[in-house]
Structure 1
Amino acid sequence: ESSQWTTEEVRPLTAEEKVMLEKQVSLLVSDFRRDKLELEARKMWDLFYKRNSVNFFKDRHWTTREFNEIEERIKSNEHTVLLEAGCGVGNAIFPLMDKYSNLFVYACDFSPRAVQHVKDNPGFSKKNCNAFQCDISTQSLCDNIQENSVDLVTLIFVLSAIHPNKFEFVFENIHKVLKPGGYLLFRDYGLNDWAMLRFSTGSKIAENFYVRQDGTRAYYFKKGELENLASSNGFLVSSNEYVMRETVNKKKNLKVPRVFLQGKYQK
């Protein structure tokens, strides 16, 4: 069973959860390992897709429900262009392309292997999709996409895998390809999410930034950070809130509080 609601406030921690967080601080990742993780980030995601192929994430049929801007834009335009930044194997784009014939999608990912999976998908056609490898935290999207030409950009569970020092570049990069009036639709992990509390000692890289056992990284966002990132890079914040989801496992008598941060930012 699960329930979902939105809030402006950070989720308060229980006494037990505070202890979990304090333990993590006792041993941070060494500087050497931190730098190595940054250098090997692409390799780690490539290995992730090698191990999991297309089977890890479920298709995201919820994007139009959470972001009504997608449907509104597509239905009111003869032709809509969407960029999925960090497309993975295409879990969000294929359900959309399936549904709307007047949609053109740019799909890019850090991992060459993920991009190959997109191209190998039976739903892929060059007529309505251009898939390419790109590290949005260092490479300009304008190498592949014309400036001011995209109606919508989705950035879903992607920014959290990037080093916080590069967040600014990502927002600038996306801003350039969006049309004035276009939207950046954002969803990612929020502060005090259950997954953040469960990291073991020795997994913490920096404030709210962790490494998983497979070498991929995850950052947990505060609401204010995203507001600042968006507004300092030329976006109007039309919404920005924590999405709380509580999953109850009755067998284990366990409540799992998930926290996401969801935002809609307009150029």
Structure 2
Amino acid sequence: MRQKTGRREGGAELRARVLSAEEERRLRGHGALVSDFRQQKLEREARRNWDLFYKRNRTRFFKDRHWTAREFGELRACRQFEDQKLTILEAGCGVGNCLFPLLEEDPNIFAYACDFSPRAVEYVKQNPLYDPGRCRVFQCDLTCDDLLDHVPPESVDVVLLIFVLSAIHPEKMPLVLQNICKVLKPGKRVLFRDYGLYDHAMLRFKAGSKLGENFYVRQDGTRSYFFTDGFLARLFTEAGCEEVLSTYVFRETVNEKEGLRAPRVFLQSTFQKPLRSAASGPRGRVPHPGPS
């Protein structure tokens, strides 16, 4: 079941779900932070760990996200007229679980798509639905400024940032937002969805997994941050974007056989690049004009 808490007003943070006494106990049990030495090693090996993740799981781990167009009405609302061509960027596309359903559902979309993992990018290119005429996929580190080597500045109508920012160290999140804002047209939007504070996945971590406030490492070395709407809004505001809407999405995963119920918490937000923005970035680095 989906519940909305509504639009943020007056800068006040929205309320995430209330923890039970048992969940409070579990959260207190996360213990001391992982050592600086191991944290630095995880940062150095971040790309390798995600590449190994896709080597193990190939294209089987995530389900296709057929809900994207339904959940984000902005994909239709951002058009000035029906059948208008849209250029989107999916930042952190994985193996295409969001990308290909969108391209199938909407023939008037051209998509740039990138991922940190070279192996994930190859899986996208091997997909029978991959059409270079409608999609250009490439490997990219969003914390660096090489995004402009592949996407022309101020050429994108919509940026999708779905379950991606949580995998990046919080100190590098501002770099990601600054870079995607450079390719976004003034007045256009970033559509965000990711793990929210007190999601079931956060509470399942054991002692020895905590990297920082709301930031954890999984057994395979991949990392996950759990967002509050206030923290996210500050990140985007500092990157030069304006908040349009933030809402927590509450769901419950039920395992009838085991009699288990897992409360899921996601944060869904929309941010807009102002019509006049200092975050536009440099021009002229892209050797191709992009899609027509």
TM-score (norm 1): 0.95
Give SS of 1:261's match.
strand
Q: CA deviation at 1:6?
A: 2.0
Work out the CA distance in 1 between the residues paired with 2:190 and 2:54. 26
Query: Where do 1:154-173 residues align within 5 Å?
Result: 154-173=160-179
Return 5+ residue gaps in structure 1 as ranges.
none
Aligned: 1:211 with 2:211: no
The equivalent position to 1:4 in structure 2, one of 2, 5, 8, is 2
Work out the CA distance in 1 between the residues paired with 2:55 and 2:233. 35
Work out the CA distance in 2 between the residues paired with 1:247 and 1:52. 22
Match of 2:40 in 1: 35
The equivalent position to 1:46 in structure 2, one of 40, 43, 51, is 51
The residue type paired with residue 91 of structure 2 is A
Please tell me the root mean square deviation across aligned C-alpha atoms, in Å.
1.3
Work out the CA distance in 1 between the residues paired with 2:21 and 2:244. 35
Work out the CA distance in 2 between the residues paired with 1:206 and 1:152. 31
Is the deviation greater in 94-103 or in 69-78? 69-78
The equivalent position to 2:247 in structure 1, one of 222, 241, 262, is 241
TM-score (norm 2): 0.87
Aligned: 1:85 with 2:83: no
What percent of counterpart residues are identical? Answer: 56
Aligned: 1:142 with 2:144: no
The residue type paired with residue 50 of structure 1 is K
Q: CA deviation at 1:72?
A: 3.1
Query: Where do 1:1-267 residues align within 5 Å?
Result: 3-7=1-5, 8-25=14-31, 27-73=32-78, 76=82, 78-267=84-273
| Number of matched pairs | 264
Work out the CA distance in 1 between the residues paired with 2:75 and 2:201. 29
Return 5+ residue gaps in structure 2 as ranges.
6-13, 274-292
Q: CA deviation at 1:77?
A: 5.2
Work out the CA distance in 2 between the residues paired with 1:253 and 1:53. 30
Work out the CA distance in 2 between the residues paired with 1:222 and 1:265. 15
Give SS of 1:46's match.
helix
Deviation readout 1:90-146 (Å, 9 max, x if unpaired) = 011101111222211000000000000111111111111110000101233111111
Higher helix share: 1
Would you say the 8 A contact 1:4–1:246 is kept in 2? no
